[in-house]
Amino acid sequence: MNGVNLSINREGIGILKIDRPSVRNALNWAAMNAFASAIEAAHRSRKLKTLILTGAGSSFVSGGDLSELVHYPHREDGLRLATIMGDALKRLEELACPTIAAINGPARGGGAEMAVACDLRIISGDADIGFVHARLGIITAWGGGQRLMRLVGYANALELMTTAKVLSAKEAVRLGLASLMTPVGQAVAEAKKLALEIAANPPAAVQAAKRALRNGLMQDLEQALRSEREEFPSLWDTDFRRKAVKKFLNKSKPKNSSHTKTRAAQESRKSKSPNRTLPQIALAEQFSHQEIDK
């Protein structure tokens, strides 16, 4: 579908892949619109529990496809470019389920903006990430600057955007842009492992956790605390929670194994036997031997 493919497996793990490897997964107009449509399809899915965003081949996403965009040099074209992907990434952020960027190769310009629009980022050891817009005399247009600042702070974000520095995978993890660096070629595999761990928990709890934390990014502390508290009562009053507590309490009870029962029986017999001291026992054994010798 115009170089953008969305698939969701039976575990509820979605893979949204930019599949234009001949241009390092750069997005032309058709691919941008296809990406926006794929995000809307993800919103409509009832089985999606976690979404992984990645690129085909050896690149994540290299931004806009300049070979096509060069023919659209005017202000209204810039507004169109900013609006399509800006709105699409906002919708990506608004997905109820967690999203993971599996950065399998270079993420440059718009590709870096797409990565930071995800909730989590996992990066391959040979990948990199760079907000290189300034090299073209532009800035982030898809919301990447604001998201970058919330991740790494104002000073770091300003330095990255004004120097157009490209960060290695190790630097990205150190700065907090990615949570995990994987061996080469393993970003998607590790993202799938993480997605399965998330999907193993009840969607209602996972989605509530995401809402609570995202509210904390946009609200003051007092409001965020109130929002988090409001999420809790409905989760407390569920069959899943009641069964989970019951299971936990049953596990905590001591088990009467056969070994324990045997030990208990032995202790019971001892308690019924005459309470003899060691010298008495030795004397009894001596008399027993004498009887045998006779």
Domain boundaries, the chain: 4-199, 203-241, 258-293
Average confidence (pLDDT) over 5-22: 97
With cut-offs at 50, 70 and 90, classify the pLDDT of residue 256. low
Domain 4-199 top-level CATH class: alpha beta
Looking at residue 284, what is its pLDDT?
47
pTM for the model: 0.84
Kindly tell me if the per-residue pLDDT of 293 is higher than 60. no
Looking at residues 93-114, what average pLDDT do you find?
A: 98
**Cβ neighbours, 10 Å, residue 10:** 6
Express each pLDDT in 147-204 by its tens digit: 999 999 999 999 999 999 999 999 999 999 999 999 999 999 999 999 999 999 999 9
